[in-house]
Amino acid sequence: MKHATLLKTFVSRFLILILNFGLVVYSTNVWGSEGKGVISIVIADLTVISFFASIFVGSSITYFAPKYKTEEILLYAYAWSLLIGITMPLLFAFTKNTVHLGYLTGLSVSSSLLAANVNLFVGQKNIRMFNVYTILQQAVHIAFIALLVYGIGFTSVSAYFLAQIVCYSVLFFASLYQIMKGRPLPKFSVSGPVLNSLFNYGWKTQLSAFFQFLNNRLSFYFLEYFRGMMSVGVFSVGVAFSEAIWTVSRSLSVILYADVVNSSNSDTAIQKAKVSMRISFLVTLLFITIILLVPSHWYALIFGKDFSQVKKITLLLAPGIMAIAVSNIIGYYFAGINKLRILNMKSLIGLIFTLVSSFIIIPRWGIAGACIITSVSYCLSSSLLFWRFYQETPFYFSDFILSRAEIRILVNKFLKK
């Protein structure tokens, strides 16, 4: 794992964390806890749809990018994005009271098309472009929200979704231009083996991801049912902190995944995984500590009076945040070597616990109960990955501590940049 690439990715994720934080602060202050709840539910619906879309536009594109022609895999990715992006929101409309159906459809199509291009960059080991477009997804979204709200005067919560659709669409066409620049006009063709390979790898990885998503988001739906939309809005801010902290872990995971799928040396892959685990553990610990040191009344001042519980929520989620931050690395390692069964098992264990305990705990304890359930579920599922990883490799406590040489290298690289 190149230290320059690692540092650039870390810096990009830190920028994303700041942008995410700014967007959460803005949305809670402008649209309140109820508006934040609406955003959280629509984004949760979008995430469900994206799991089905990611069968062809997710890790399968990354995994097969070194193995097949670009135009072959993009053909299936784009066609699948349109199919799923249009049909899934319609199915949602028949099965549940879907808020903002039109925006959900636009988000589904545009986000899937962009995801295909961004994941192709990872498979081509073009981590620089992956970082650029990941940052731009946040920055351009914020810019378009500002344009709609302050330039046009469109102050409804719908401005959030419209800005996001325009953002994804602009970035899709920009990234498509970069992919096709300098290439001859592609000759699209249908290939059975390519289609089968993408689908078989894609559905297995997405099954695990879908279970994990339900693990992460079922509490939203239980809270909405038992305690109302305002509870979802308050709880979602704590979850937003979790996901902001995980940006570092996820960026390290993406670099590791790109290295593993392009390498045949298992010992090197294991060592890279352990280095990534060390960095993820220490950085996550730092961020959690900072969040918990901030006085509770500051959160009410920043997010609004409805959000005074944010520090308590983060404290209850902290063990689970740490567990997922480290186990993300192991999960991508197993995906990179095509051992997907363990990923499905760990996600299923967490999901079963969440599903059973939510019926009992959330009606009694509300937001605090949702936090406890989420944190315990994360720890349970992560424990299975730790156990399996260290069955295959020797375990040392130093796996979670950076050596002096590694710290010196990272500091020198940072000072140079």
- Give the chain's largest Cα–Cα span: 62
- Measured in residues, the chain has a length of 417
Can you tell me the distance from the alpha carbon of 114 to that of 99, in angstroms, rounded to the nearest whole number? 23
The tens place of each residue's pLDDT in the chain, 417 residues long, gives: 455 566 666 677 677 777 877 787 788 777 877 777 788 788 878 888 888 888 888 888 888 887 788 877 888 889 999 999 999 988 887 776 666 788 889 999 999 999 999 988 888 878 888 888 988 998 999 999 999 989 888 888 889 999 999 999 999 999 999 888 866 655 656 667 778 888 887 887 777 777 777 777 778 778 878 877 777 777 877 777 777 777 777 777 777 777 777 766 777 778 778 878 887 888 888 888 888 888 877 877 777 666 677 788 888 888 998 998 888 888 888 887 778 788 888 888 988 998 889 888 988 888 888 889 989 999 998 898 888 888 877 766 666 666 666 566 555 655 554
Nearest to 165 by CA among 112, 222, 103: 103
pLDDT at 331: 85
pLDDT at 6: 60
How many other C-beta atoms are found inside a 10 Å radius of the C-beta of residue 33? Answer: 22
Nearest to 89 by CA among 79, 99, 77: 99
DSSP secondary structure of 27-85 = HHHHHHHHHHHHHHHHHHHHHHHHHHHHHHHSHHHHHHTTTS-HHHHHHHHHHHHHHHH
pLDDT at 108: 93
Nearest to 15 by CA among 174, 159, 189, 137: 137
How many angstroms separate the Cα of 130 from the Cα of each of 8, 165, 174, 292, 335? 11, 19, 13, 31, 19
Can you tell me the distance from the alpha carbon of 273 to that of 270, in angstroms, rounded to the nearest whole number? 5
